[in-house]
Amino acid sequence: MDDTVWSIGDLAAATGLTVRALHHYDAINLVTPSMRTTAGHRRYTDGDVRRLHRVLALRGFGFTLAEIGSLLDRPDRDVRDLLQHQLDQTTDRIAKATKLKDRIETILARLGDPDADALIQIIEEMTAVERSYTPEQFAELAAQRQAMWERLTEDERAELVRKREEATSRFTAEELEQLHRSRPAINQS
């Protein structure tokens, strides 16, 4: 009973995965069938199937396949940290998605019987912040900010980042993303 062996198609049907997914797990050495038939066909043993189930369980918790692999193969890492990280990421995703949802609902409410031009106009109103500057003023602003940043000490920069994050809640999603993108670039210089 314990020496039952699975073809890839049966295993795929039983787990709801695709054959291609199992091929992929094999290719990255995540779940490798212990046997092959003489024709080269994969045969999954009971142990392989147990490992696959662990993979699917962990995948359900949002771990990447790479993380799952190292968790299963070197189970000495600080699991609490990993889980905490997952939790933080998930919380963050919820917050961002919730904000986006609010904005979309706002737009839908304001939208009468619109075409795309109207949509774009409304969205631009909601996100129009920089557009009140001329390009030159805008470039000047960016340059000044950059120059100011470079005159700061490490501590002052950290303080600024904190303040920005406090102010962040009043920003639009677009600006959030832009801040997020521009910060590492600035920090590296």
Partner DNA sequence: TTGCTCCTCACGTCACGTGAGGTGGC
- Shortest reach from residue 188's CB to DNA, in Å: 9
Q: Quick one: which of 14, 32, 34, 41 contacts DNA (CB under 7 A)?
A: 41
3-state secondary structure of 73: helix
Q: Is 146 in the site for its own copies (CB under 8 A)?
A: yes
Binders in 47-66 for its own copies, by CB under 8 A: 49, 53-54, 56-62
Q: Quick one: which of 28, 35, 66, 87 contacts its own copies (CB under 8 A)?
A: 87
H-only helix segments in 7-127: 8-15, 19-27, 46-59, 65-73, 79-110, 116-127
Tokens of 95: 């917050």
Q: Which is nearer to its own copies, 151 or 155 (CB)?
A: 151
Give the integer Cα–Cα distance in Å for 15 and 126: 46
Alpha-carbon torsion (10, 13, 15, 19), positive or negative: positive
Position of tokens 């199992």?
22
Give the integer Cα–Cα distance in Å for 68 and 53: 12
Q: Quick one: which of 28, 35, 66, 119 contacts its own copies (CB under 8 A)?
A: 119
Q: Quick one: which of 3, 4, 29, 39 contacts DNA (CB under 7 A)?
A: 39
Give the integer Cα–Cα distance in Å for 22 and 130: 49
Per-residue contact string for residues 46-85; x = within reach of DNA by CB under 7 A:
-------------x----xxx-------------------
What are phi and psi for residue 118, nearest 5 degrees?
Answer: -65, -45
- Of 28-36, 79-87, 149-157, 159-167, which part binds its own copies (CB under 8 A)? 79-87
Q: Which is nearer to its own copies, 80 or 151 (CB)?
A: 80
Residues near DNA (CB under 7 A): 7-10, 12, 18-21, 23-25, 37-42, 59, 64-66, 181
